[in-house]
Amino acid sequence: MNGALFSAHIEVFGSSSCELAARGSDLDMAFSRVCRGSQVYHLFTSPQTELKNVAERLQCRYREMHVQRLLHARVLIVNIQDEDTGIEVDLSTDNTLGVWNSQLLLEYVSIDVRFAQIVVLVKAWASAHGIQRIDNNWT
């Protein structure tokens, strides 16, 4: 198969995409390769290999960015932080569930703005009490 049949697709999801981000929140992005505009497809590589390759390319091209690979987690992530701006991005691969959940939350926010206020309040409370930790499988 010719590589020209494939293109990369990046979708923003998470709190930034559904009006629930707090100040200093990171940006969550899902990377996938699309075959002829239809299905998500990996050509000869695993998601771990794809993210590893993306991380290596970013480190080579953008030396001012701190790139950390978290490839053994439940959701594989490359964490990218721009040292100048402090902007932080979590790049995952084919995170369809995360994208769909964010779209659902955005629908809730569009129905009633109080939903966003409650979510932000609960997130702040959880963070203040140390229970919003990814390593505990809590989000």
The yes-or-no verdict on residue 99 having pLDDT over 80 is yes
The yes-or-no verdict on residue 9 having pLDDT over 80 is no
**93, β-bridge pairs:** 31
Who's near 14: CB < 8 A, 6+ residues apart?
21, 26, 27, 28, 90, 98, 102
Global pTM value? 0.74
Tokens of 28: 């969550």
Kindly report, residue by residue over 101-136, the tens digit of the pLDDT: 999 999 999 999 899 999 888 888 988 888 865 544
Query: Which residue type sits at 59?
Result: Q
Kindly report, residue by residue over 38-97, the tens digit of the pLDDT: 555 555 567 778 888 888 888 888 877 888 887 677 778 888 898 888 889 999 887 888
Give the chain's domains with CATH numbers. Answer: 3-136 (3.30.460.10)
Q: Which of left, alpha, beta for 44 (phi over 0: left; psi -120 to 50: alpha)?
A: left
**Tokens 């691969």, residue located:** 93
